[in-house]
Amino acid sequence: MTTSYPRCFNEHIETMPPDQLRLMQEEKLRRQMAYNYERSAFYRRRFDASGIKPGDIRTLDDLAKLPFTTKDELRDSQIEQPPLGRHAAAPMEAVIRVHSSSGTTGRPSYVGITRHDRDGWTESIARVYWAEGVRPDTILAMGFGLSFFVGGIPLQDAVEQIGATFIPIGTGASDRLITSIQNLGANQLTCTPSYATYLAEYVRSRFNMEPRELGLQRIQVGAEPGGGIPEVRKRIGEDWGAFITEGIGNADVIPVYAGECDERTGMHLVAPDLVVLEIIDPDTGAVLPLDRPEVRGELVFTHIDRECVPLVRFRTRDQVIVWTAACPCGRTGLRLRCVGRTDDMLILLGVNVFPSAIKDVVMSLRPRTTGEIQIVLDQPGPRVDPPLKIQVEHGPDVSNLPDLEREIEGILRDKLIFAARVELLPSGALPRYEMKAKLIHKAYEQ
């Protein structure tokens, strides 16, 4: 007998009509602005410097009056006033846990949460994982790192909140992960897309079996843009014989705030009661109105129900496509797909190129390639003089390497409109990553 479960974890919020949603968000926004002014030295200074009173921010459109908050500013604020920064709005005795956001360079930045913040995170992540098919009868193997990383303990809280069975394995223990899936009959796995790809190779070489024989029904991927690359997703699905969905989050905002339903038409933003989203032009900072079916730009978030580190107009640096039309599943939230990081974006003769798009092209040539790539930059981006140097792993049966190099360069020129110089390397030559895959090698840093 199969149990029937409701379609949403929180039907009320996830299917709320847009006009009603807006009223709820604006009421919460006003409350949060007053709170930030009173409790956060960083935001009080911001408001005063721009001559704005918290009461001037009454509607979602009013947000555009305020400056953006950047990751660099949060880092500086934390150095200036440790441990959590001048932007923190709750005393340490109210903070129950601190996470680290995996900074790309330099000092890690820390994120504190109060009990209330923790409950908000749990609720948001539970809504996402429910949308991605986790139910009380799920046995979920955890393949994300469990320590400081926000994709660890907060995810455990959420899976347990759903009532599913959580198997806390984490990264760096591939043998134990596969053995636990076998011994405990795990039917779902959550990890990065690069780890899912790595694990498939691992199962074949170390367990001498096909990954699909493990019987996983679903794999939820996240923490890097790979899950949104059609060819990457197709390969993971075929390797494991599982239904692949993708989620997205941000350590400074909410660990996981959007995920796909079974329609797989983009990730539903499921926490409109916790954050307000804006899409901006990354070059000009102009807000792009969401009055069209599809909008592309950088994702910006404002917390509307956060105690410890509420952020106002935080630039995530994630480049997304947002779809505004309703989804057949009944959820009313906007749907989005991440196409890359603003920081990873390269510009070749005025053309924007994302490493994930290059990976997609190379994946489509399997088995003549392994799908693994590395872009080599001799100087800091984003502007790169063509041709762009790309290392690509070729498959075992390729005899004419120069021909394949020219072919890949030709496809990149036709599809992505830039000049590349491809260097083929044997299978296994490029580094593999359990956590976030690094597609760019900064040769100038050595």
Least distance CB 401 / Zn ion (angstroms): 44
Inter-axis angle of helices 153-162 and 115-131, nearest 10 = 60
Q: What is the dihedral of CA 9, 11, 15, 18, to 10 degrees?
A: -110
* SS3 letters across 405-437: HHHHHHHHHHHHCCCEEEEEECCCCCCCCCCCC
Pick from 89, 111, 97: nearest CA to 31: 89
Nearer to Zn ion, 258 or 422 (CB): 258
Structural contact between residues 218 and 247, judged by C-beta atoms closer than 8 angstroms? no
| CB 270 to Zn ion: min, Å | 10
Q: Starting at the earlier edge strand, list the strands of the sheet with 440-442.
A: 420-425, 388-394, 369-377, 440-442
275: left (phi over 0), alpha (psi -120 to 50) or beta: beta
Could you say whether residue 270 binds Zn ion (CB under 5 A)?
no
CB of 263 to Zn ion, least distance (A): 5
Least distance to Zn ion, CB of residue 330, Å: 7
**Minimum separation from the CB atom of position 234 to Zn ion (A):** 20
Q: Is 63 among the residues that bind Zn ion (CB under 5 A)?
A: no
Residue corresponding to tokens 């939820």: 220
**Contact letters for Zn ion, residues 1-40 (x by CB under 5 A):** ----------------------------------------
Nearest-approach distance from CB 262 to Zn ion, in angstroms: 7
Is residue 329 a contact point for Zn ion (CB under 5 A)? yes
Query: For residues 131 and 412, which CB has a smaller minimum distance to Zn ion in the complex?
Result: 131
Residue 230 tokens, joined? 């059609």
Q: Taking the CB of residue 134, how many other CB atoms lie within 10 A of it?
A: 25
Q: Which is nearer to Zn ion, 71 or 337 (CB)?
A: 337
For Zn ion, the closer CB: 127 or 303? 127
Question: Is residue 84 close enough to count as binding Zn ion by CB under 5 A?
Answer: no
Site string for Zn ion, 247-266 (x = CB under 5 A): --------------x-x---
The only residue of 327, 377, 425, 429 in contact with Zn ion, by rule CB under 5 A: 327
Binding site for Zn ion (CB under 5 A): 261, 263, 327, 329, 331
